[in-house]
Structure 1
Amino acid sequence: MLRLILLSLLLTAVVTGQKGRRERECSVIKAGYQFSFDLYNELASNNTGANIFFSPYSISTATSMLMLGTDGKTEIELRSFLRHGICNHESMRIHLANKYISKLIAEPVADMSLTVANRLFPDTKFNLYANYTQKSAEFYGSAVESIDFKGQHELSRKTINDWIAERTNDKIQNMLPAGSITPMTEIVLANAIYFKGTWKTKFNPRSTTDGLFHIDENTATFIPMMRTKAKFTYATNALFSIIEMPYIGDAASMVIVLPRDRFGLSSIEKMLDGNYLRALTQYGGKTEVSVTLPKFTMTFSANLEDTYQSMGVESIFSTGADFGRMTDSEDFFISNIRHKAFIEVNEEGTEAAAATTLTGARTLSRSPNFICDHPFIFYIVHKKTNVILFLGRYVTPTK
């Protein structure tokens, strides 16, 4: 009897644990959808009339790695930025959910490449807590590669750029431009993601012909248009139609939201709810659809400091940031956040890559105040000979 009771308790604990993990994962996914479209709208408003393309996963993963090393107000801001306010879990449970999600993403699928890599690049003299590096490795698989920002900042920049290029199949080049790494740089947190998938239903290249693409009410141009016909998950309402086109293996798909009004994109952008779209594709029925899709290649890059700030993140950009779980380095702050992305869509499938870097730096030690608001003496010296060339005093303001 006792054994039966113990077995029953054990099974209950296992089921409860699995349920808790699913709930955490679900909450993080919901947050991810909300974050993705909130970030989309922010980038869209800053790039009026222009293409945008980015990896929400790359940005959120790099930011989560940073959040792992924060505490207090700084951690709260990053949680809010990533939209984790919709889940009431403590931060460590969010990192556990991220770990589980990344494990699923890493599972191999035939005819599809999907790799995500994270790395910490601290300066050789930067005091990075062992507990932080251990947890970063545990939750995000991020190795640590110490480099000499102080003595060889240009070589350090090349090392990071080469790492990103290698992990994105050379699609993301020169991620950190010249001058972006200085002797004041303390650490770079980097994420790289690469994807290549083959359409489950390919487009026949012989069906690709030039078609008219309407840019706005006054502008249209001919571009290569691919065509196919098959059963896809499809739904429509008064504002837009949505279609999901899977890649071989069904581990990934492209979802396209098409406004019903030819020039109605801007009117629906801010109304879009990522979790509503997710529901449409999860529960929508399969319908035979004739698809016409542009064949295109696109690149996009952005510095995201202003974007983070407009979405509520302030403290990481000042020396008042709380990185108490990462380092005891004083005057440490995030000086730059960069994102770069690439996509090519053709008859065979899709190739895409992106990278995100968060650069941490330090300021010079706070100096004593030196305010020349009363009479003073001054001189000019020739340094090599130590001869005073000019000498004087300043007692009263002159014109």
Structure 2
Amino acid sequence: MGFIKSLSVTVLSIFLFFGCSSSTNFKVRSNEMLATSTPAIQQDREEFNEAVNNFSFRIFRKVWDSGHKENILISPLSISYALMMVLNGAERETSTAIKNCLGLSGFSTEEINREANSLSKLVFKPDSGVNIKLANSVWSLDEIDVEESFMRILDDYYKAESRQFRGNDPNLPSAINHWIEEKTDGMIKDMIDYVDPSIIMMLVNAISFDGLWSSSFDANNSIDAPFYISADKNRIVIMMRRTDETVIFNGDNLDIAEIPYGDGNFVLDIILPHKDTEIDKIIDILSVQTFNNWINNANPIQTELSIPRFKYGYKIELNKILSEMGMEIAFGGRADFSGISRGYPLSIDKVTHQAFIETTEKGTEAAAATVVGIKRTAFIPEERFVFNADHPFIYLIREKKSNTIIFVGLVTNPE
């Protein structure tokens, strides 16, 4: 790889807020945790973690493809945890659909719970200069008999706080919003504005991240400089600058800078297309395999690093995207969430996601929350084969075990 004299961010492509470092560091930390695991459990853990990352890139591409072409911010991990909680109430085809969407079809629900719990212990742990937190909660209508096993699993594996609400409670949105705001250190506000009367449960995940750069940017070196939104359009932004050793990848029509927080267990990876490469070309090839190849071939090099300050929020309803990813059955009358409650036909009402990020000379603050609403639904029976013997037919009477035919006949005019 040639010497990169200057890396100036002209297009800040994506920040998939996942809450862990590059795959190299991730494997090191995983191996520490897996030292006492059996080979089978270790293999499951590695496959699970890869599936979680694969989901991250797949859902990011779906958000991009849905027409969101400006600033995007999602926490795939927050979405994953919310859906994994919901999975514990899903049965039959609905369970299969959620697993397929998450890329976890090879895992039992019990295995998914185990690995989700292990991953949370790995990612959400103390780090010098980084404060990262995970919180889950389940809000249920007080008149619904929720399956005890469902609530027990959410407590055991996801540490989900349990709350109840009354039907048509006008204070419910503000109560959930207050919980989310508290768990995200005030970064996610007013996420819920209305709760439909058909809602019987809300499952909520919240993630917050506050990381100081391992090597901070000197604010005195920051300058006003153009950020090129397109070839013929730019705006003046505050560009943070520093010169030091930075892990860099250069190739495949892009550069990557890995900027560490705290002890280096968490990093910001900036994927910067070369100026003659459209960003959608990079998004098209973005996958676990390509990303791992890039960062595994990155090397530390003395770099003039320039990145903009940036701060923005983002909110999206994920029903259509998740349906396109295989979860359509979960949103309709054929959904089976009898693992939540057997007294009512239930389906997902909405999956809402909201995120926030601010990056300055000191570091990054980011947060995300995912809310899954479960509602009573009108039961739509599964599609049935229609057998209507209203015209001439042949018939047999037979003994099934030996398959012996005892009678055979033809009806052309029943009397």
Q: For the superposition of Structure 1 and Structure 2, which TM-score range results when normalised by the shorter chain?
A: 0.7 to 0.9
> 1:308 deviation in Å?
0.8
Q: Deviations over 1:349-387 (max 9, x none)?
A: 000001000001113689xxxxxxxxxxxxxxxxxxxxx
Q: Answer whether contact 1:238 1:260 (CA < 8 A) is retained.
A: no
Match of 1:312, SS state, is helix
**Residue 338 of structure 1: how far off its partner (Å):** 0.4
Q: Could you tell me the TM-score, scaled by structure 2's length?
A: 0.80
Contact between 1:243 and 1:281, CA under 8 Å: does it hold in 2?
no
Separation (CA, whole Å) in 2 of partners of 1:126 and 1:328: 10
2:138, 2:162 within 8 Å by CA — same for their partners in 1? Answer: yes
Matched, 1:44 2:64: yes
Q: Note the C-alpha offset of 1:47.
A: 3.2
Output the CA distance in 2 between the equivalents of 1:181 and 1:61: 21
**RMSD (CA atoms):** 1.8
SS at structure 1 position matched to 2:118: helix
Residue identity opposite 1:69 in structure 2: G
1:271-350 correspondence runs (5 A): 271-282=285-296, 284-350=298-364
Using CA pairs under 8 Å that are at least 6 residues apart, name the structure with larger relative contact order, 1 or 2: 2
The 3 A distance-change label for structure 1 pair 221 and 365 is closer
| Unmatched 5+ stretches in structure 2 | 1-33, 381-415
Unaligned runs of 5+ in 1: 1-13, 367-399
Q: CA deviation at 1:263?
A: 4.8
Name the SS of the counterpart of 1:339 in structure 2.
strand
CA distance in 1, matches of 2:162, 2:86: 14
Q: Is the 8 A contact 1:199 1:245 kept in 2?
A: yes
C-alpha distance 206-15 of structure 1, shift in aligned 2 (>3 A): closer
Matched, 1:66 2:86: yes
Specify the alignment match of 1:103 in structure 2: 121
Q: Aligned to 2:281, what secondary structure does the other structure show?
A: helix
Aligned to 1:250, the other structure's residue is in SS state coil
Output one character per residue of 1:60-98: Cα deviation in whole Å (capped at 9) or x when no partner.
10001001211211111111111124xx33231122111
Contact 2:224 2:236 in 1 (8 A): yes
Aligned match of 1:131: 149
Inter-CA distance 16–193: structure 2 relative to 1 (3 Å threshold): closer
Q: 1:167 aligns with which of 179, 183, 199?
A: 183
DSSP 3-state at the match of 2:326: coil
Amino acid at match of 1:230: D
Tell me the equivalent position of 1:114: 132
| Residue 53 (structure 2) aligns with | 33
Q: SS of the residue aligned with 1:102?
A: helix
One-letter amino acid matched to 1:231: E
Determine the structure 2 residue equivalent to 1:387: none
Residue of structure 1 equivalent to 2:164: 146
The count of corresponding residues between Structure 1 and Structure 2 is 347
Amino acid in the other structure paired with 2:242: T
Partners of 1:314 and 1:118 in 2: CA distance: 24
Instruction: Name 1:89's counterpart in structure 2.
Output: 107
Matched residue, 2:29: none
Letter in 2 for 1:348: K
- Cα shift readout 1:90-143 (whole Å, capped 9, x = no counterpart): 231122111101112232122211000000000101221111111111111112
CA distance in 1, matches of 2:196, 2:39: 48
Match of 1:222 among 236, 245, 264: 236
Distance in 1 (CA, whole Å) between partners of 2:69 and 2:154 is: 39
Q: Show structure 1 runs of 4+ deviating over 6 A.
A: none
Q: How far is the alpha carbon of 1:21 from its aligned partner?
A: 2.6
**Do the aligned residues in 1 keep the contact of 2:333 with 2:378 (CA within 8 Å)?**
no
**Contact 1:33–1:275 (CA<8 Å) still a contact in 2?**
no
Give the whole-Å Cα distance in 2 for the aligned partners of 1:156 and 1:51: 30
In structure 2, distance between residues paired with 1:248 and 1:15? 25
Say if 1:25 and 1:98, in contact at 8 Å, map to a contact too: no
1:27-48 Cα offsets, whole Å, 9 max, x none, are: 1111112111111111112234
2-structure distance, mates of 1:262, 1:296: 24
Task: Give the Cα–Cα distance (whole angstroms) in 2 for the partners of residues 192 and 200 of structure 1.
Answer: 25
Q: Which moved more, 1:228-237 or 1:259-268?
A: 259-268
The normalised TM-score by structure 1 is: 0.83
